[in-house]
Amino acid sequence: MLKVEHLSFRYGNKVIFDHINFALQKSQLCAVLGINGSGKSTLFKCCMGFIRPSHGAVSLQGKLISTLKTSEIAKSVSYVPQEHPITFPFTVKEMVLMGRTPHISNFFRIAEQHYERVDNLLDRLSLAHLADAAFSQLSGGQRQMVLIARAIVQETPVMLLDEPTSSLDFKNQLLIWNMLVELKEQGKTVLVCTHDPNHVLWFCDRVIVMDKQRLIADGSPRDVLDEEILKQIYGPVCELVQLRDAGMVIPRLEQHDGTTSKE
Amino acid sequence: MDRIKSNRQKRFLLLALSFTVFVTALISMRIGPYDLSLQEVFQAIFQLPKSQLVENDRSRLAELIIWDIRLPRIVLAGLVGTALAVSGTVFQGCFRNPLVEPYILGVSSGAAFGASMAIVFPSVFFSLPVSAFIFSACTVLITVSLAQVKGQIQTVSLILAGVVIGSFFSSLVSILKYISDDAALREIVFWLLGGFYQGGWKEIYLLAPIILPVSGFVWFLGWKLNIISIGDEEAKSMGVDPKKNKLFLIFCATLLTSLSVAYVGIIAWVGLMVPHAARMMMGPDNRYAIPLSALLGTLFLLFCDTLARNLIDGEIPIGILTSILGAPYLLYLLRTKTAS
């Protein structure tokens, strides 16, 4: 569905990431994990066609993204940006309806079917009561839900989400991740940029780890996220413990005598 | 004010406002140094069969007043109100800033310089509106080319370039004012304050075929303007090319503004406050905000022009009235926004 080949990006002489390769299949929930500045967001921008890579190529459903028009890309891949305020107070319904844009032929009088799809989705996501509320007055979690709803209503086979849970409380984080799992089960290819290794362990079926501008690991989270990789990304500040079926990354606590919890 | 949310209600409000514009225009046609009755206005407009009229000097005079003086002013006020309000809505959407106005790229300063040159050197610049239009268009071209860095135009550099160029041309206007004689200085000052006193059918025949279709086309792009106004990357992700659409919309808005300014001078505040009022009434969806802005802009300038013609014996330049009414309105908006 989404293929990234030999992708590199530089700002002048500064290498943002170099030689990235991966291919995502249908019904896959994949996370991109890495510390700040590892090039995750820039990678997403290249995958969306927002910026041109310095080298390499991105393909969507077998077609090179550089050969596709903006409107064609929008029918294949949707994007959920980090939660952010907007200037004008559009209602939730208007914001979600914007997701239908690639499918709207007459902007002057938008067909009733598009409104119906939006209404049905808002109902399904329990957002119907907020339909007429101003997007700018919602809480962070609600805004993120609305942005995800907008991407869902765009009906694309591939979805890219840039840190969708970064500003949310725990309940809303679980809500969003469960929604992403559901989307994967419906056949979508979902690529999520995240900072939390636990979310990756609990919800994703694949992880791509970026460190020092390169892709250092790619595979199932349980196989990839071991002590060695965690140490390589984050340093000796955390450890992996086994909890139920999945693992859990916890802080490595400093003892009073200066040794760490495992020593 | 609670804004209207259902599309049916919005359409009804647009219809009701169109009717209000019509009624205001009728009232405006009645009032003046020579008051006319509503019947006389109707008779003059629709030129009812002579058998229904008492054919006399008064009815002929009414016809003359309506067709040669008041109706062209009203139509011109409507066209300019539409142009300024629509371009204000476009600029605010494209720059994602509700405090941007149509003169942001230096249109008004360029037009002021062009008009002043035509007033001070009438033998060189034979037509004032043509000179004002050419200079306003040149100003925008200079602003855009200054803002271009490596083929890219950043919003901030565009606004800064507009401020710089605007300030430069304002200084040139000051120089012209300084060197001009008393009569020319008076004319420049009057022109800068704007007004419809020179409005006739000739101007309308020139402006209407451009302002009406361009405003209609911008309205057609209202939905795309919605999407552009939430951010470039999001617009791209929804299939709308922000760069191409913004450039086209800004070109349309600049054309609307510079044409209006060239013919009626600088009328402040309309392009800033009318889009605000429209969004407060119906929300930011430009499919409705654009026609509502056009109607409110028409209504506002009609109202101000009627006051300008009737408040004192002579005529108050309309720019003074729009500023007197506009400034407190913006203050009110800022205070209520801060409070909420």
Residue B56, pLDDT score: 64
Chain A closest CA to B70's CA: distance in Å? 35
**Contact call for A71 and B239, based on CB within 8 A:** yes
Chain B closest CA to A95's CA: distance in Å? 9
Residue A43, pLDDT score: 92
**Contact call for A98 and B230, based on CB within 8 A:** yes
| Interface contact A105, partner B, CB < 8 A | no
Residues of B in contact with A90 (CB under 8 A): 226, 230, 283-285
- Domain locations in chain B as residue ranges: 77-339
| Superfamily of domain B77-339, CATH level 4 | ABC transporter involved in vitamin B12 uptake, BtuC (1.10.3470.10)
Residue B5, pLDDT score: 64
**Contact call for A78 and B237, based on CB within 8 A:** yes
**Contact call for B240 and A99, based on CB within 8 A:** no
For B3-32, what is each residue's pLDDT tens digit?
566 888 899 999 999 999 999 999 999 988
Distance between CA B221 and CA B215 in Å, rounded? 10
Closest CA to A101 of B242, B31, B129: B242
Residue A263, pLDDT score: 44
Which portions of chain B are predicted below pLDDT 70?
Answer: 1-5, 48-57, 151, 333-334, 337-340
Chain A closest CA to B218's CA: distance in Å? 11
| Interface contact A88, partner B, CB < 8 A | yes
DSSP A19-62: EEEEEE-SSEEEEEE--TTSSHHHHHHHHHTSS--SEEEEEETT
Structure tokens that stand for B1 in this block: 């004010």
Residue A254, pLDDT score: 67
**Contact call for A48 and B233, based on CB within 8 A:** yes
Residue of chain B with shortest Cα separation from A106: B220
A31 phi, psi to nearest 5 deg: -110, 145
Residue B338, pLDDT score: 57
Chain A closest CA to B246's CA: distance in Å? 15
Query: Residue B54, class by beta-carbon neighbours within 10 Å (0-12 exposed, 13-18 middle, 19+ buried)?
Result: exposed
**Contact call for B229 and A88, based on CB within 8 A:** yes
Per run of 10 residues, the mean pLDDT along chain A (length 263 residues) is 92 88 94 88 91 92 92 94 82 95 85 92 90 89 90 94 85 88 94 92 93 89 87 83 80 64 48
Q: Side-chain half-sphere of B185: how many Cα atoms within 13 Å?
A: 8
